[in-house]
Amino acid sequence: MAAPLLQIRDLHKAYVLDGVTIQALRGIDLTIADGEFVAIMGPSGSGKSTLMYILGCLDVADAGSYRLHDQDVTHLDADQLAALRNHEVGFVFQNFNLLPRTSALENVETPLIYAGVAKAERRRRAREALQRMGLGDRLQHLPNQLSGGQAQRVAIARALVTQPSLLLADEPTGNVDTTTSAEIMQLLDTLNREDGLSIVLITHEKDVAAHAGRRLFLRDGLLEAQA
């Protein structure tokens, strides 16, 4: 069995909204092996996004533990979390989150700027990432000059350019048509199967979740079932 990529134990997270405390996560235990493809499903408000933000070091838990590559993430400060996030985690979002006035190539370069990579090297790596996504002829296009599928492939290239160990995808097919959705999922399948990339996918769609090797179901902040 592959070594664990991440382990969380008894994870709790609460928010206060309009004076009301909302228990987003109420004691989650989860281990994901290196190279796994896992889908997280559940109704709105079940805690899916909260869990993803914690896994991606964008948020921290109130209680419990989280280890990523056997590093204890739980008590890292903001700068340490940012450094870990930049090196270990890639993000793909439903709305692409591309910089609107910036070319595809420059969008993909952005994480490498934060990582301190020299200009020539980051330009080379960004170009290679886009070429792998089939976008070698779209390097200078702005996001509004791209189709939804092309924009999402730019976002995937940006997520991969730092060579992360974990890809977090939050409803990555939510803003594209059925055909493009199938193409994006085929791409994620290839990244997992051929590159061994670990993927955690959040989705409401059963056919999208079916691509994962394991499906987790959250309800009311609890891990209800696995399949």
- pLDDT 10s digits, 39-95: 999 988 899 989 999 999 999 999 999 999 888 998 899 999 998 998 899 999 888
Query: In the prediction, which pLDDT does 114 show?
Result: 86
Both tokens assigned to 140? 């200078």
Annotate 149-169 with b (16+ C-beta within 10 A) or e (fewer).
Answer: bbbbbbbbbbbbbbebbbbbb
pLDDT at residue 18 is higher than 60: yes
Q: For residue 95, give every residue at least 6 positions away whose Cβ sits within 8 Å of its Cβ, in sequence order, or none.
A: 175
Tell me the C-alpha distance between 168 and 53, whole Å: 9
CB of 125 closer than 8 Å to CB of 112 = yes
Query: In the prediction, which pLDDT does 17 show?
Result: 86
How far does CA 16 lie from the centroid of its chain?
A: 25
Query: In the prediction, which pLDDT does 176 show?
Result: 84
Query: In the prediction, which pLDDT does 24 show?
Result: 94
Model confidence, pTM: 0.92
Burial class (CB in 10 A: 0-12, 13-18, 19+), 12: middle
Which phi and psi (to 5°) does residue 22 adopt? -110, 120
Tell me the C-alpha distance between 149 and 2, whole Å: 33
pLDDT at residue 1 is higher than 80: no
